[in-house]
């Protein structure tokens, strides 16, 4: 047996141990990623008057990176309280919100129809839509983090 073969053989157990240590976090991270991908997107239904007709509108969350891209390209207008609520120009965000995430009385509008609908939505219902968008993209995630952190702290305290 050559010296190199002896050295290789001697270092193999250490390499295997190091690989096992690396593999455990990788598999945990892979599991977390898979779990996050499987998480269903939140939907928020609400009613609004559209002209003289009451319609049900359902908005479904987009992924975080999509929301960040959408709001980053629409900076808030100074002094607009609705814009301040979500940190972006609400009119632009509403007009650009993906129509495959919008249902009005059971139908997805086309992009052209949605732009027309947005132009005709009365102020109080615009406010409802902004609140719904804020909730599904920010509020619920913050609430989930607080609940998970509290549960983790309680568990750690009971484990002693």
Do 114 and 49 lie in one domain? The reply is yes
Please indicate, yes or no, whether residues 11 and 75 belong to a single structural domain of this protein: no
Q: What is the structure's pLDDT at 20?
A: 53
Residue 103 and residue 153 in one domain: yes
* Residues 4 and 78 grouped into a single domain: no
Residue 12 pLDDT: 55
pLDDT at 17: 53
The confidence score (pLDDT) of residue 77 equals: 95
Residue 63 sits in the same domain as residue 91: yes
33-49 pLDDT, tens digit each: 888 888 888 999 989 99
Three-class secondary structure assignment of 141-153? HHHHHHHHHHHHH
User: What number of other Cβ atoms are within 10 A of residue 99's Cβ?
Assistant: 17
Please report the pLDDT score of residue 106 as a whole number.
95
Structural domain containing residue 139: 43-159
Residue segments in the chain with a per-residue pLDDT below the cut of 50: none
**Which pLDDT score, from 0 to 100, does residue 33 have?**
86
Residues 6+ apart with CB under 8 A from 86: 71, 76, 93, 130, 133, 134, 137, 138
Q: How many domains does the chain have?
A: 2
pTM, to two decimals: 0.73
2 and 34 fall within a common domain: yes
Q: What's the angle, vertex CA 27, arms to CA 22 and CA 33, rounded to 5? A: 125
Residues 63, 121, single domain; the answer is yes
Are 134 and 94 a contacting pair, CB within 8 Å? Answer: no
Q: Same domain, yes or no, for 89 and 155?
A: yes
Cβ neighbors of 135 (< 8 A, separation 6 or more) are 44
97 and 149 fall within a common domain: yes
């Amino acid at each position: 047996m050559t010296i190199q073969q002896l050295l290789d053989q001697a270092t193999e157990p250490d390499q295997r141990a190091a690989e096992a240590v690396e593999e455990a976090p990788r598999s945990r991270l892979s599991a977390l990623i898979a779990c996050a991908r499987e998480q269903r997107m939140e939907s928020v239904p609400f009613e609004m008057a559209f002209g003289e007709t009451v319609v049900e509108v359902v908005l479904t969350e987009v992924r975080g990176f999509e929301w960040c891209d959408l709001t980053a390209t629409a900076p808030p207008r100074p002094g607009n309280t609705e814009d301040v609520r979500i940190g972006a120009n609400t009119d632009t965000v509403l007009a650009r919100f993906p129509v495959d995430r919008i249902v009005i009385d059971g139908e997805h509008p086309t992009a052209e129809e949605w732009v027309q609908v947005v132009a005709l939505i009365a102020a109080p219902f615009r406010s409802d839509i902004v609140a719904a968008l804020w909730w599904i993209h920010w509020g619920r995630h913050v609430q989930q983090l607080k609940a998970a952190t509290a549960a983790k702290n309680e568990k750690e305290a009971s484990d002693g």
